């Protein structure tokens, strides 16, 4: 089975889409933030952004065996540090800045953390990182402003999975 990351700026709906996709397909949803906590992959604390700093190497080492099995949905705000061989397709969720601003404010984001995440979306930082880290033909941008769009995105991904299964029957 293929594996895919759901990536995008915080607040774009990655976790909701990943959960819905896992329920619909049976693929295993890997919430990278939870894995990092569970496996002790967090280092120092960043006072400016009010979050722990991820030890990427330790996380990748811990995920290697899981990812080699295939059939994973990897939920994280960035994907550029994951090995390209782990993914068959990459989905980057995008959200209108005014909607994203409200979502992040509701989560308690403020100051530099709020501003930088909005800037990240404005400048398509996550999308550009994905495009520079993976083959361009496997990176797909999905609009995620409403629940209907999230549902449409899940359906599109399910169609892609069905096509992937047909194309890879003999491998």
Burial class (CB in 10 A: 0-12, 13-18, 19+), 157: buried
Whether 171 is in a domain gets the answer: no
Whether 47 is in a domain gets the answer: yes
Pairing of β 90-94 and β 4-8: parallel
What is the domain-level CATH number for residue 18? 3.40.50.300
Query: Annotated binding residues for ATP, as ranges?
Result: 11, 13-15, 107
Whether 167 is in a domain gets the answer: no
Is the torsion defined by CA of 11, 15, 21, 23 positive or negative? negative
Helix (H, G, I), strand (E, B) or coil at 93: strand
- Containing structural domain, residue 109: 4-162
Query: Annotated binding residues, as ranges?
Result: 11, 13-15, 107
Whether 126 is in a domain gets the answer: yes
Per-residue pLDDT tens, the chain, 171 aa: give them.
Answer: 889 999 999 999 999 999 999 999 999 999 999 999 999 999 999 998 888 999 999 999 999 999 999 999 999 999 999 999 999 999 999 999 999 999 999 999 999 999 999 999 999 999 999 999 999 999 999 999 999 999 999 999 999 999 998 998 875
Please answer whether residues 43 and 53 qualify as being in contact, where contact means their C-beta atoms are separated by less than 8 angstroms.
yes
Whether 111 is in a domain gets the answer: yes
Burial class (CB in 10 A: 0-12, 13-18, 19+), 140: middle
Whether 94 is in a domain gets the answer: yes
Q: What is the count of structural domains for the chain? A: 1
How far apart, in whole angstroms, are the C-alpha atoms of residue 131 and residue 137? 9
Please answer whether residues 153 and 144 qualify as being in contact, where contact means their C-beta atoms are separated by less than 8 angstroms.
yes
Can you give the pTM of this predicted structure?
Answer: 0.94
How far apart, in whole angstroms, are the C-alpha atoms of residue 133 and residue 151? 27
């Amino acid at each position: 089975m293929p594996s895919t990351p759901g990536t995008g700026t915080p607040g774009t709906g990655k976790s909701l889409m990943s959960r819905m996709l896992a329920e619909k397909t049976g693929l295993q949803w890997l919430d990278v933030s939870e894995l990092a906590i569970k496996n002790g992959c967090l280092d120092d604390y960043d006072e400016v952004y009010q979050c722990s700093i991820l030890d990427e190497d330790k996380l990748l080492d811990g995920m290697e065996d899981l990812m080699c099995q295939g059939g994973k949905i990897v939920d994280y705000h960035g994907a550029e540090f994951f090995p390209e061989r782990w993914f068959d397709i990459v989905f980057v969720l995008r959200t209108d800045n005014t909607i994203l601003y409200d979502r992040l404010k509701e989560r308690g984001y403020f100051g530099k953390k709020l501003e930088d995440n909005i800037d990240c979306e404005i400048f398509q930082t996550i999308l550009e990182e994905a495009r520079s880290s993976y083959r361009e033909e496997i990176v797909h941008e999905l609009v995620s402003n409403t629940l209907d769009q999230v549902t449409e995105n899940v359906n599109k991904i399910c169609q892609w999975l069905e096509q992937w299964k047909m194309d890879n029957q003999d491998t």
